[in-house]
Structure 1
Amino acid sequence: MNERIFRVLEFHKILENLADQAASSLGKEQARKLKPSTDLAEVIHLQDETDQAVQIIRLHGNVPLGGIVDIRPSLKRAEIGGILNPQECLQIAGTIYGGKQLRRFIEKLEEPEVPIIREWVTQIEPLNELEREIKHCIDDHGHVMDGASDKLRSIRSKIRTSESRIRDRLESFTKSKSKMLSDAIVTIRNDRYVLPVKQEYRGAIGGIVHDQSASGQTLFMEPQAVVEINNVLSEAKVQEKAEIERILRDLSMRIASDHELLRQNVEALAALDFIFARAKLAESMHAAMPKMNDQGIIEIKQARHPLLTDEEVVPNDVFLGKDYHAIVITGPNTGGKTVTLKLVGLCTLMAQSGLQIPALDGCKLSVFDEVFADIGDEQSIEQSLSTFSSHMTNIVDILTKVHEKTLVLFDELGAGTDPQEGAALAMAILDDVVKRKARIIATTHYPELKAYGYNRDGIINASVEFDVQTLKPTYRLLIGVPGRSNAFEISRRLGLESDVIDAAKSLVGTDSTSVENMIASLDTARKKAEQDYEDADQTLQDAQQLKRDLEKQWQQFEREREALYQKAEEKAEKALQKARQEAEDIVATIRDMKGQATLKEHEWIEARKLFDEAQPDLTKKKAKNTAPEPQAKSKETLTPGDEVKLLTLDQRGTIIEQVNKNEYQVQVGIMKMKVKRKDLQLMKRENPVVEKPMATVRGSNYHVKTELDLRGERYEDALQQVEKYVDDALLAGYPQVSIIHGKGTGALRKGVQEFAKRHRQISDYRAGSMNEGGSGVTILEFK
């Protein structure tokens, strides 16, 4: 792609903003070298990279990219046998650590799905051993530590001992011969410890003179008493330097042995820093990932110029390449036409570079082989060309390269010459570019081009809106509506006399007046259509929201209904299993009884078959949950002693007691069983029911005893009876009741007391007194 387009559209400013988002010099280098790609597959891959990084930043915040340095020059020196300094070694260790941190961060991510980013981090080798070796020898400030080797530790110990001895000797001089010294301090000259001696006491001190003050009054002397110790110190420092050099040489050789893996790490880290820099730029611009194509289709909604601030920019919609291939924008100067051109061109370059664009989600952009632009006054002073000549030189060059895979941007096409000839030339140039199937956006202020789009296929007019009331442009792009001059309206609002305006109108040609009237009519229709669209869109959104709410509520209802069915089914299944087990127990008991020889086996099988057939099919009930339940053949209340028929077994029995509202305990022969009311039919009632005095509570009547006898009952049945009995007693208004459970093993007593603890209406419970039954009775007291 030509370099000129980058300069014209100020693409380099985008790259500088991108470089500012990079965390290392590696990422900044790649950002500044970024160029748009013309390969669709590569562009899609770059966009996917950026989008995955955007998702990570959006969900997890900043990515750890600290400590990463461009260590490639150091690697090159180590590879050819050079000795790296401590700071270079430390930078290599820091880069290894930074790579490990980034890899660990990405590998721990559970969401989102980021396969491209994960592929990059797999290329980062930990190199833990090399990092440990460097950190063992060099501290965080870049100094070789004593522990780097035993020899270095010994040498530095010797240095510290010598320095201490020298200072002790010299400090004794500062105390005993302070009058001979210019200052009572110990200082260093030529890496040797000296004293500042006054010139006249040179002979009294004795020793070696290493320096003197500017005035010559002070000599920096090394007394003879410390010369030998200073010699030992100097020798030790030479040994220290040699040992440090040896340690660094070994480290450099170790680094050189891993130079290929280190270079691979650097390349992976540079790529990842660059990818996340693109993501950070997208976040700062509130950008979206465009869907790329190679059919020349551009569809961007609420797009903003990337280099303008939110306060300056006005979002616009641009559609090109599907219903029409060329847009001709007319309207007054400073209305925003050029900004629109640059917006489309810059977004195209950004998208082809893998950058997201500042627009709404769902935008589409095409991959072009070339983007050409003739924008602004680029008059060549050196060639002494006029404005028109410089533009035409550029346009001629563009026309030689245009084809169907190019995007062409013309600003003020045909300007700088006679208006009539310029307009004709502009139309001819547009016709030629359209014929080559390129995508074009052109701006012009020639009135002759206002009707241009109406006469040609594949071309549409557009304009930038101007508010006549405020006399200011709104910078909104209006597709399908050519621009109006608004000169007469503006003049009228500025105070020009009506007579003058009317005279001016009479001088305007009939064709021009017709065009202006047509544009005015289109503008009025457009505004009405926009208002109607907004109203319809709001109605649609309200309806869609209502639909979503109703669907959500219906789904909730379905879930709750399904849960209730499931709960009811589980409860019924448990009851059936319990009843079946009880029946099995009874059958087993009867088999063991005497006289079982008189009972024939086929009779037991027949009874068992009847019991199995009585079991309801819960699956069918669930599938047909709207089917009505079978109704009892009689609504009449049954009382103990009533003779009934078991409909499911076709057997007669006698009511023993009512277990709950819809269930009775029935004696059938020697068996007792619980049967639902709907499965019982009253056959005979011996004695009429005698009404007993009733306890009236809140308008309801109950026949409830003040005590409940549970002796001989099974544990589960007993607790169910307690629960029902307590409810009835509460409704009867009793302050307390007695539960007779007997002594036995104490399990039933414990169960009753646990129930009393959990019940909200039971204020207290206690064991019965001696005259109430003792520990075989529990007294429940109600609130």
Structure 2
Amino acid sequence: MNKRSLRILGFYQVQNMLVRLAPSRLSKEIARRLRPVSDADVIAKNLTDTEEAVRCLQTETSTPFGGIVDIRPSLEKAKREVTLDSHECIDIWNNLQHYGEIRSFFAERGADYPQLAEEAEVIGDFSQLAHSFAQVFDNNRQIRDNASPELMRLRSCIVELERQTKRYVNNVLQNKEYQKYFQDALVTVRNNRYVIPIKQEYRHAFPGIVHDTSASGSTLYVEPLAIVNANNDLQAARIGETKEIERIFRRLTAKVQQQYSDLYESTKCVGQLEFAFAKGQLALKMKACRPAVPKTRIIKLIQARHPLIDPKHVVPNTIIIGGDYRILLITGSNTGGKTVSMKTLGLLVLMHQAGLFIPVSESSELPVFRDVFSDIGDEQDISQNLSTFSSHMKQLIYILKHCGPDDLILADELGSGTDPAEGSAIAIAILDAFYKKGAYVMVTTHYNDLKNYAYNTPGIENGHVEFDTETLQPTYKLRIGAAGSSHAFSISERLGMPKDILEKAKDLRSKAQDMDMEKVLTQLNAQAKKMDEEQAELEYRLREARKLEDDLRKEKDKVTSKRQDIIDASRRDAVDLKRNLRVEAEKIIRELKAQSKVGTDREKAKAIDKARRAIQQISLPEAAKPQRDPIDLSKLKVGQQVFVNNLDSVGTVEDIGAKQLTVSVRGMTVRVKSKDVSAPYLDELKKEKQAEKKAAAASSFRPIRTSSVATELNVIGKTFSEALPEIERFLDQALAAGFSPVKIIHGKGSGALRRQVHAFLDDQPFVKKYQLDDVDGGGAGVTLVYF
């Protein structure tokens, strides 16, 4: 891949971002070596690594990466049989533990991340080697006392010798004969030997060996002759300990040497996996995705963003090259974003072919290119006598010699730096040569001749960057399909150019031959902008409508499913209820039959009464009734139809009282409270009319008017069994007529009939309460019944 393009387009800056995200020296090294490639299979594999890493980072709560050390230098030492030191052994042991975690992580998730799991299979099983290190080092990374039998013996011996030596030194310190010699009555260590600080003037009076002096020279550190042998024994034991530790490290080094190849390959594999996850982190940071590779070589980058521009300020653009045209000519104002659009395309191509996700929308497509050539910026070289034009020409000549049909060419300000007429001619000839070579090209220019050439030449398309003439500011939006104006006058005015100079320049420009074309371009661009805005609005509304449609479809599916569940549950409940009713009815019938064969009339009446109460207790469970709309009483009129909630039926209003309404329900007149009626539904009104017509045609029944319903019943002189049918009929008619309270006249007598009537009323669910009438109304001989 062209190194100049990597530098100019900013690939190294993206690479530095990746290096900072890499967690270890291994992965940072791989990131620094990263370069775009042109092999489609290698690119696809690298992108799949990134894709699986992104999915893993988004799905898993944690990943087993971090804490890996580059142990390759230590492995090379072990290969050459150079004994490893303590730090190197600990680094290898740490890595072995991480290798096992990474290996297990991907082994358990092979179905979720198949390519990364396959790569992780290279990591070897080093459990035995890790166990060997664990026998030498404890959890604090210190050498265990029992790392070997000899080390345990030597360390025990050192502890005992230190105890004895300290005891000898304390004996010397406690000797009264030597007290005046001591600078301080304490024990210290010099050259790994216990010594005592002695005053300088007593150096010849105190028997011992001088090992050191203080900075001022007033204190000597003397080893008493009495403990020389004890120090010698202690030093010998310590030397033995050091040699034993070296022997242990040689043994560990030999084990590492035996598995050198597996350890080296595993280390490289872990570095590659870490690098893949660094790419995943970069993709998430950029909100990037993987574009599709099209079968027909077409560049379609939707809402592409330059990755090196602050996301808060970057303007997304759609770049399409291919199909009907392979050369895109970008025109427009200076500082309007032409070069940024070109660099965005080039950098995203390089990132894609380096296995990185790019900041575009998911519907984007990007083919694989053999190379990317760029001629962007002014690189004139004074030492080589190269002007701006010469520098551009030198680079373009190089590109013309090396480019081919699978290359991407980016050229900024093509033909600039010389006479406009000659520059335009050379630029057109170069574009024609690029087209014949089959390359994909994106160029910028201000020349009108090139705009005309693009309009009149198949395979070349115009594009421009927008400029807001009202605010005199560029919008940085790229529009493909029409050329744009340079807006030199507007920009000069915004920068403070004197008005008289601008007026003179405009007058001269108005006399130019191509002035009409500038006006046409301005009008076309304004129309194109308006159409794009309308299309964006239509697309937004279409997305909202589709979203609403999907929501409604899901809601409908939920309602349908719930409705079926309710129907199934109701059917099961109905079957169970039918079965229970049948059982209860059969039980009551059997009891009545058995009672009819034997027993007196009174016993038969009691049996019938008992059966009646049993049937009344068989009731359907009340279902939760839906909330209905209340009636506006101020607008209610006689003759209006209402829904009576308690009767679950539609009726007609016959009279409107202060607190009660008189309503006719299918020929039966009832009095109800105003709060117990509500507005009927349309389908309920239709059903009521159909039911009335059907009833009128099938029956000659005429309802009892309220004028024919009595409000009191006299059963004095009758037995309870004789009075019961009359009481039941009387209560049914009074209830239907809406009368409350009504009177049952049973007389005083012995009180037996009154008690039986009261017992009967206790079992009636429609009776709200009952009480004896006052003295004027009959007292204990009359019972008032309230519904």
TM superposition score normalised by structure 2? 0.72
Check if 1:559 corresponds to 2:558. Answer: no
Describe the superposition over 1:704-742 as per-residue Cα deviations: whole angstroms up to 9, x where unpaired.
Answer: xxxxxxxxxxxxxxxxxxxxxxxx96555489xxxxxxx
CA shift in 2, pair 1:526/1:731, >3 Å: farther
- Which residue of structure 1 aligns with residue 71 of structure 2? 71
Deviation at 1:94, TM superposition (A): 1.1
Q: How does 1:440-451 map to 2 (within 5 A)?
A: 440-451=441-452
Question: For the residues of structure 2 that align with 1:207 and 1:266, how far apart are their CA atoms?
Answer: 56
Check if 1:220 corresponds to 2:221. Answer: yes
Question: For the residues of structure 2 that align with 1:256 and 1:234, how far apart are their CA atoms?
Answer: 33
Could you tell me whether the CA contact under 8 Å between 1:52 and 1:114 is conserved in 2? yes
Could you tell me whether the CA contact under 8 Å between 1:40 and 1:294 is conserved in 2? no
- Which residue of structure 2 aligns with residue 90 of structure 1? 90
Question: For the residues of structure 2 that align with 1:5 and 1:138, how far apart are their CA atoms?
Answer: 52
- Which residue of structure 2 aligns with residue 350 of structure 1? 351
Question: For the residues of structure 1 that align with 2:88 and 2:396, how far apart are their CA atoms?
Answer: 53
- Which residue of structure 2 aligns with residue 777 of structure 1? none
- Which residue of structure 2 aligns with residue 421 of structure 1? 422
Question: For the residues of structure 2 that align with 1:187 and 1:376, how far apart are their CA atoms?
Answer: 72
CA shift in 2, pair 1:325/1:146, >3 Å: same
- Which residue of structure 1 aligns with residue 539 of structure 2? 537
Check if 1:125 corresponds to 2:91. Answer: no
Structure 2 counterpart of 1:526, one-letter code: A
Question: For the residues of structure 1 that align with 2:507 and 2:283, how far apart are their CA atoms?
Answer: 51
Question: For the residues of structure 2 that align with 1:118 and 1:734, how far apart are their CA atoms?
Answer: 81
User: SS at 1:139's partner residue?
Assistant: coil
Question: For the residues of structure 1 that align with 2:169 and 2:206, how far apart are their CA atoms?
Answer: 11
Question: For the residues of structure 1 that align with 2:573 and 2:394, how far apart are their CA atoms?
Answer: 90
- Which residue of structure 1 aligns with residue 461 of structure 2? 460
Describe the superposition over 1:245-269 as per-residue Cα deviations: whole angstroms up to 9, x where unpaired.
Answer: 1111111222222333323322321
Deviation at 1:218, TM superposition (A): 3.3
- Which residue of structure 2 aligns with residue 3 of structure 1? 3
Of 512, 516, 519, which residue of structure 1 is paired with 2:518?
516
Question: For the residues of structure 1 that align with 2:351 and 2:527, how far apart are their CA atoms?
Answer: 36
Question: Which stretch shifts more, 434-443 or 304-313?
Answer: 304-313
Question: For the residues of structure 1 that align with 2:562 and 2:30, how far apart are their CA atoms?
Answer: 57
In structure 1, the gaps of 5 or more residues are 583-680, 703-727, 736-783
- Which residue of structure 1 aligns with residue 400 of structure 2? 399
CA shift in 2, pair 1:403/1:504, >3 Å: same
Deviation at 1:121, TM superposition (A): 3.0
Question: For the residues of structure 2 that align with 1:41 and 1:733, how far apart are their CA atoms?
Answer: 88
CA shift in 2, pair 1:576/1:436, >3 Å: farther
CA shift in 2, pair 1:91/1:490, >3 Å: closer
Question: Which stretch shifts more, 52-61 or 562-571?
Answer: 562-571
CA shift in 2, pair 1:93/1:692, >3 Å: farther
Structure 1 counterpart of 2:163, one-letter code: S
User: SS at 2:566's partner residue?
Assistant: helix
Could you tell me whether the CA contact under 8 Å between 1:492 and 1:501 is conserved in 2? no
In structure 2, the gaps of 5 or more residues are 585-697, 700-724, 741-762, 771-787
CA shift in 2, pair 1:510/1:104, >3 Å: same
Question: For the residues of structure 2 that align with 1:729 and 1:451, how far apart are their CA atoms?
Answer: 101
Describe the superposition over 1:147-202 as per-residue Cα deviations: whole angstroms up to 9, x where unpaired.
Answer: 21122122112112222332333344445434323344433322222223223212
Describe the superposition over 1:688-711 as per-residue Cα deviations: whole angstroms up to 9, x where unpaired.
Answer: 999452397899899xxxxxxxxx
Structure 2 counterpart of 1:5, one-letter code: S
Question: For the residues of structure 2 that align with 1:167 and 1:698, how far apart are their CA atoms?
Answer: 115
Of 546, 549, 552, which residue of structure 2 is paired with 1:547?
549
Structure 1 counterpart of 2:100, one-letter code: K
- Which residue of structure 2 aligns with residue 156 of structure 1? 155
- Which residue of structure 2 aligns with residue 328 of structure 1? 329
State the identity %. 38
CA shift in 2, pair 1:515/1:209, >3 Å: same
Could you tell me whether the CA contact under 8 Å between 2:331 and 2:486 is conserved in 1? no
Structure 2 counterpart of 1:100, one-letter code: G
Structure 2 counterpart of 1:539, one-letter code: R
- Which residue of structure 2 aligns with residue 380 of structure 1? 381
- Which residue of structure 2 aligns with residue 13 of structure 1? 13
Structure 2 counterpart of 1:549, one-letter code: D
Question: For the residues of structure 1 that align with 2:767 and 2:579, how far apart are their CA atoms?
Answer: 34
User: SS at 1:358's partner residue?
Assistant: coil
Deviation at 1:91, TM superposition (A): 1.4
Q: How does 1:315-714 map to 2 (within 5 A)?
A: 315-490=316-491, 497=499, 501=503, 504-568=506-570, 570=572, 691-694=729-732
Describe the superposition over 1:421-474 as per-residue Cα deviations: whole angstroms up to 9, x where unpaired.
Answer: 112111111111012111111112223323332111121112222223333322
Deviation at 1:489, TM superposition (A): 4.2
Could you tell me whether the CA contact under 8 Å between 2:334 and 2:486 is conserved in 1? no
Question: For the residues of structure 1 that align with 2:736 and 2:25, how far apart are their CA atoms?
Answer: 85
Question: For the residues of structure 2 that align with 1:693 and 1:699, how far apart are their CA atoms?
Answer: 10
Check if 1:99 corresponds to 2:99. Answer: yes
CA shift in 2, pair 1:371/1:212, >3 Å: same
Structure 1 counterpart of 2:420, one-letter code: P
Could you tell me whether the CA contact under 8 Å between 1:51 and 1:279 is conserved in 2? yes
Question: For the residues of structure 1 that align with 2:106 and 2:580, how far apart are their CA atoms?
Answer: 55
Question: For the residues of structure 2 that align with 1:95 and 1:531, how far apart are their CA atoms?
Answer: 57
CA shift in 2, pair 1:579/1:352, >3 Å: farther
Q: How does 1:41-80 map to 2 (within 5 A)?
A: 41-80=41-80
User: SS at 2:222's partner residue?
Assistant: strand
CA shift in 2, pair 1:395/1:567, >3 Å: same
TM superposition score normalised by structure 1? 0.72
CA shift in 2, pair 1:730/1:329, >3 Å: farther
User: SS at 1:465's partner residue?
Assistant: strand
CA shift in 2, pair 1:119/1:732, >3 Å: farther
- Which residue of structure 2 aligns with residue 758 of structure 1? none
Structure 2 counterpart of 1:261, one-letter code: D
Question: For the residues of structure 1 that align with 2:391 and 2:491, how far apart are their CA atoms?
Answer: 33
Structure 2 counterpart of 1:221, one-letter code: V
Could you tell me whether the CA contact under 8 Å between 1:452 and 1:461 is conserved in 2? no
Deviation at 1:506, TM superposition (A): 4.7
CA shift in 2, pair 1:234/1:568, >3 Å: same
- Which residue of structure 1 aligns with residue 629 of structure 2? none
Question: Which stretch shifts more, 489-498 or 382-391?
Answer: 489-498
Question: For the residues of structure 1 that align with 2:342 and 2:364, how far apart are their CA atoms?
Answer: 17
CA shift in 2, pair 1:208/1:503, >3 Å: closer
Structure 2 counterpart of 1:436, one-letter code: K
Describe the superposition over 1:617-661 as per-residue Cα deviations: whole angstroms up to 9, x where unpaired.
Answer: xxxxxxxxxxxxxxxxxxxxxxxxxxxxxxxxxxxxxxxxxxxxx
Could you tell me whether the CA contact under 8 Å between 1:162 and 1:229 is conserved in 2? yes
User: SS at 1:193's partner residue?
Assistant: strand
- Which residue of structure 2 aligns with residue 274 of structure 1? 275
- Which residue of structure 2 aligns with residue 137 of structure 1? 136
User: SS at 1:407's partner residue?
Assistant: strand
Deviation at 1:344, TM superposition (A): 0.8
Question: For the residues of structure 2 that align with 1:84 and 1:11, how far apart are their CA atoms?
Answer: 40
- Which residue of structure 2 aligns with residue 705 of structure 1? none
Describe the superposition over 1:197-229 as per-residue Cα deviations: whole angstroms up to 9, x where unpaired.
Answer: 223212221122223345544332211011001
Q: How does 1:287-306 map to 2 (within 5 A)?
A: 287-293=288-294, 295-306=296-307
User: SS at 2:366's partner residue?
Assistant: strand
Flag the structure with larger Rg: 2
CA shift in 2, pair 1:84/1:497, >3 Å: closer
Question: Which stretch shifts more, 377-386 or 496-505?
Answer: 496-505
After superposition, the CA RMSD in angstroms is 3.8
Could you tell me whether the CA contact under 8 Å between 2:158 and 2:234 is conserved in 1? yes
Deviation at 1:340, TM superposition (A): 1.4
Deviation at 1:122, TM superposition (A): 3.2
Deviation at 1:355, TM superposition (A): 0.6
- Which residue of structure 1 aligns with residue 167 of structure 2? 168
Instruction: Figure out how many residues of one structure are paired with residues of the other and give that number.
Output: 621
